[in-house]
């Protein structure tokens, strides 16, 4: 008998060589039907593989990361079987799972594959899936494996075999297809109920452009047709909401080769959004007792040696500039400058907590291949602030930061978010982490406690902390469920010492403050990229670059339109007149495309009654109103930052 320990700590006894699937069946048939893999002592295994010794077991379904990866990798084998049936003699390189599906790199010889062939392959895969063929794991010696793939004539698998050691080689066989594979796989092909092959691309063997180009075929599969339909719909929606597409259509930002890659220029419309975000941040931070500061964009090498950015963070910084025999760096973080502001004047316990904020511009070197729209850039504007406090003040300060996050989530209608508390790893003290075992334990407990008191859902991960303290990564989800890493919230017990920061305590001794680094709105670049997707470009009125567009039916009504414009401008409402000599239908359509929240139509009737006819983006006609009444309503909507 062996002992199997479940995730909840329960231990059950089974005869040796029991499989995860047997164990699932012993619990319930319904559960067994959903099990596609298992985690045995932390390693993902076939659900049908015999467990020989005592083990920790987690049964995996589609809902688990490991389950999905196994499902998609098994689908790559199924696709390979279909490919081989249409293209005999095809050679296979590797077929891993990816974030959303899987691919296989294949060498079709002098044949090629086009979009239409993918449809044929999908049909074939569905036919093979229905056969419920089991994935059979077959341990085999290296020489047998070499013999098998030599006979098959697949030099790519022979190349893979070279790097493997005898005694750890396995084949996986399903239906008519055999692959060299470490596994794991799902029990049988019948789990694969919905198939979509999505893309064909070229891929150099081993990613080296000197090598032969192979054909990479991408696909995605699901345990039900419904899930595939939903996925396709989500892709469609994400395409419509692509921040690069919307950023161009709505004139939010631009890039220019002469300026340089990854250096965003904000157009007037984007700048309005930036200024509204900063206004929100300033109001919120002012209420929370922050003071604002302004710091230069460069600093001398010596400061970055003190801060530890050099050499640890050097790869992420721009190369230095030489001036008067000194080296200067563009700042990649605002912290060191802020520490210098703390140190500029003597501090006593009465000055703490000392909170300073700045929408700071930082520059980071990202490889050109990594740059992506607003998501990965080389110049960023960060909603930064640092809080210097005593240990006793930490809990309240940290909770107040959490509250600020939650307040912002509400303003922007962010319903789903996850906080990841990253902890240190004791065996890497002095290497990856400041060598202060006691302080690590203490601060980690302080952060955990504050999160729990704030009632914030969070997960803990080991060995992901910053060099100088635990951190919290905040992940938010757009309305279509896509994940964005928003910001990092860090606790720092080390930089205060490096910068010799201190305050005089009530009993006249000196102490080093704790530092909280926080940036709830992340950077303008990433956050506006997120907002474009989240709102599908339809910004709420308070954020909209143009809030109201006045559409005169003909030139005759232009003077009246101008009167209305004056009233709106006086009330600080961003308004414009469409004075083109276009038909009103065209003017409405164009304004809709620019996603302007309000359209005011003015013609004969409106002039005579001294009113305006209101249309709301996405809602249509709202009827006629008095201008002053409309102004009051919009002012209110803006002041309250209403989301609809």
Find, among 642, 408, 413, the residue nearest to 547 by Cα: 642
For the purposes of burial, counting CB atoms within 10 Å of the CB of 314, is it exposed (0-12), middle (13-18) or buried (19 or more)?
middle
Complex with Zn ion: residue 519 or 550, whichever CB lies closer: 519
The answer to whether 63 and 78 are in contact (CB under 8 A) is no
* Least Å from the CB of residue 403 to Zn ion: 20
* Least Å from the CB of residue 247 to Zn ion: 28
The answer to whether 565 and 304 are in contact (CB under 8 A) is no
Can residue 456 be called a binding residue for Zn ion (CB under 5 A)? no
Can residue 531 be called a binding residue for Zn ion (CB under 5 A)? no
Complex with Zn ion: residue 181 or 400, whichever CB lies closer: 181
Complex with Zn ion: residue 181 or 197, whichever CB lies closer: 181
Can residue 181 be called a binding residue for Zn ion (CB under 5 A)? yes
Can residue 517 be called a binding residue for Zn ion (CB under 5 A)? yes
Q: Where are the beta strands (DSSP E) in 223-325?
A: 253-254, 265-266, 291-292, 298-300, 321-323
* Least Å from the CB of residue 184 to Zn ion: 8
Complex with Zn ion: residue 269 or 295, whichever CB lies closer: 295
The answer to whether 200 and 118 are in contact (CB under 8 A) is yes
CA distance 130 to 285: 60
Complex with Zn ion: residue 91 or 574, whichever CB lies closer: 91
Stretch of 241-249, 294-302, 318-326, 515-523 lying at the interface with Zn ion (CB under 5 A): 515-523
Can residue 382 be called a binding residue for Zn ion (CB under 5 A)? no
DSSP-based three-state secondary structure for 472: strand
Complex with Zn ion: residue 55 or 181, whichever CB lies closer: 181
Complex with Zn ion: residue 335 or 401, whichever CB lies closer: 335
Can residue 541 be called a binding residue for Zn ion (CB under 5 A)? no
* Least Å from the CB of residue 324 to Zn ion: 28
Stretch of 100-108, 210-218, 297-305, 517-525 lying at the interface with Zn ion (CB under 5 A): 517-525
Stretch of 226-234, 516-524, 532-540, 575-583 lying at the interface with Zn ion (CB under 5 A): 516-524
Can residue 335 be called a binding residue for Zn ion (CB under 5 A)? yes
* Least Å from the CB of residue 124 to Zn ion: 19
* Least Å from the CB of residue 519 to Zn ion: 8
Stretch of 136-144, 335-343, 426-434, 595-603 lying at the interface with Zn ion (CB under 5 A): 335-343
What distance lies between CA 194 and its chain's CA centroid? 27
Q: Where are the beta strands (DSSP E) in 73-212?
A: 91-92, 97-98, 101-107, 136-140, 169-174, 177-180, 194-204
* Least Å from the CB of residue 77 to Zn ion: 5
* Least Å from the CB of residue 490 to Zn ion: 7
Tally Cβ neighbours within 10 Å of residue 641: 17
Complex with Zn ion: residue 354 or 539, whichever CB lies closer: 354
- The string of DSSP codes covering 147-172 is HHHHHHT-HHHHHHHHTSPTTSEEEE
The answer to whether 172 and 77 are in contact (CB under 8 A) is yes
Stretch of 203-211, 228-236, 328-336, 579-587 lying at the interface with Zn ion (CB under 5 A): 328-336
- Positive or negative: CA dihedral 555, 560, 564, 565: positive
Stretch of 36-44, 291-299, 333-341, 466-474 lying at the interface with Zn ion (CB under 5 A): 333-341
Q: What are phi and psi of 457, to 5 degrees?
A: -65, 135
Size of the site for Zn ion (CB under 5 A): 3
Contacts 24+ apart (CB under 8 A), 268-274: 268/545, 269/545, 269/546, 270/528, 270/545, 272/543, 272/544, 272/545, 272/574, 273/528, 273/531, 273/539, 273/543, 273/545, 274/381, 274/524, 274/528
* Least Å from the CB of residue 67 to Zn ion: 15
Stretch of 259-267, 419-427, 434-442, 513-521 lying at the interface with Zn ion (CB under 5 A): 513-521
Complex with Zn ion: residue 125 or 627, whichever CB lies closer: 125
Name the residues that contact Zn ion, by CB under 5 A: 181, 335, 517
């Amino acid at each position: 008998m062996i002992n199997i320990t479940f995730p909840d700590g329960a231990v059950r006894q089974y005869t040796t060589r029991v499989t995860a699937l047997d164990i699932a069946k012993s619990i319930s048939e319904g559960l067994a039907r959903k099990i596609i893999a298992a985690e045995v002592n932390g390693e993902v295994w076939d659900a049908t593989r015999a467990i020989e010794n005592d083990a920790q077991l987690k049964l995996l379904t589609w809902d688990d990361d490991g389950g999905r990866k196994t499902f998609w990798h098994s689908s790559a084998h199924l696709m390979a079987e279909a490919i081989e049936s249409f293209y005999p003699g095809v050679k296979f390189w590797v077929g891993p799972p990816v974030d959303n599906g899987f691919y296989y790199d294949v060498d079709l010889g002098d044949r090629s594959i086009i979009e239409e062939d993918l449809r044929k392959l999908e049909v074939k895969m569905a036919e093979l899936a229905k056969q419920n063929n089991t994935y059979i794991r077959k341990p085999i010696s290296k020489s047998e494996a070499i013999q098998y793939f030599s006979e098959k004539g697949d030099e790519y698998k022979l190349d893979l075999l070279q790097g493997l050691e005898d005694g750890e080689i396995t084949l996986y066989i399903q239906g008519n297809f055999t692959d060299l594979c470490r596994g794991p796989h799902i029990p049988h092909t019948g789990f694969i109920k919905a198939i979509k092959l999505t893309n064909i691309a070229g891929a150099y063997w081993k990613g080296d452009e000197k090598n032969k180009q192979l054909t990479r075929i991408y696909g995605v599969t699901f345990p039900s047709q419904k899930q595939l339909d939903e996925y396709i719909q989500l892709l469609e929606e994400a395409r419509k909401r692509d921040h690069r597409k919307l950023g161009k259509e709505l004139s939010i930002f631009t890039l220019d080769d002469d300026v340089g890659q990854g250096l965003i220029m904000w157009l007037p419309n984007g700048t309005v959004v930036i200024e509204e975000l900063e206004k929100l941040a300033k109001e919120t931070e002012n209420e929370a007792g922050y003071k604002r500061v302004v710091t230069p964009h460069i600093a001398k090498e010596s400061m970055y040696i003190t801060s530890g950015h050099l050499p640890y963070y050097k790869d992420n910084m721009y190369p230095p500039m030489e001036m008067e025999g000194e080296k200067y760096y563009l700042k990649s973080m605002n912290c060191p400058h802020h520490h210098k502001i703390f140190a500029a004047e003597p501090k006593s316990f009465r000055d703490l907590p000392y909170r300073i904020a700045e929408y700071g511009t930082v520059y980071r070197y990202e490889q050109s291949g990594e740059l992506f729209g607003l998501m990965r850039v080389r110049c960023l504007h960060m909603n930064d602030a640092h809080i210097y406090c005593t240990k006793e003040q930490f809990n309240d300060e940290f909770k107040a930061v959490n509250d600020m996050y939650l307040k912002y989530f509400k303003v922007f209608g962010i319903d789903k978010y996850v906080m990841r508390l990253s902890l240190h790893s004791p065996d890497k003290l002095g290497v990856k982490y400041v060598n202060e075992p006691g302080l690590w334990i203490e601060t980690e407990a302080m952060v955990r406690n504050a999160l729990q008191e704030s009632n914030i859902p969070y997960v803990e991960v080991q060995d992901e902390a910053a060099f100088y303290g635990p951190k919290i990564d905040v992940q938010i989800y757009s309305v279509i469920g896509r994940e964005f890493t928003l910001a990092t919230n860090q606790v720092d017990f080390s930089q205060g010492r490096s910068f010799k920061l201190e305050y005089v305590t009530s009993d006249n001794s000196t102490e080093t403050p704790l530092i909280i680094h926080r940036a709830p709105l992340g950077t303008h670049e990433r956050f506006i990229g997120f907002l474009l997707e989240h709102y599908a470009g339809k910004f709420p009125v308070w954020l909209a670059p143009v809030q109201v567009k006045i559409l005169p039916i003909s030139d005759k009504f232009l003077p009246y339109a101008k009167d209305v414009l004056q009233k709106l401008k006086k009330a600080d409402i961003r308004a414009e007149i469409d004075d083109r000599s276009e038909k009103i239908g065209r003017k409405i359509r164009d304004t809709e495309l620019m996603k302007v929240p309000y359209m005011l139509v003015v013609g004969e009737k409106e002039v005579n009654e001294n009113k305006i006819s209101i249309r709301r983006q996405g809602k249509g006609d709202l009827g006629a109103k008095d201008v002053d009444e409309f102004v009051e309503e919009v002012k209110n909507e803006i002041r309250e930052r209403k989301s609809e």
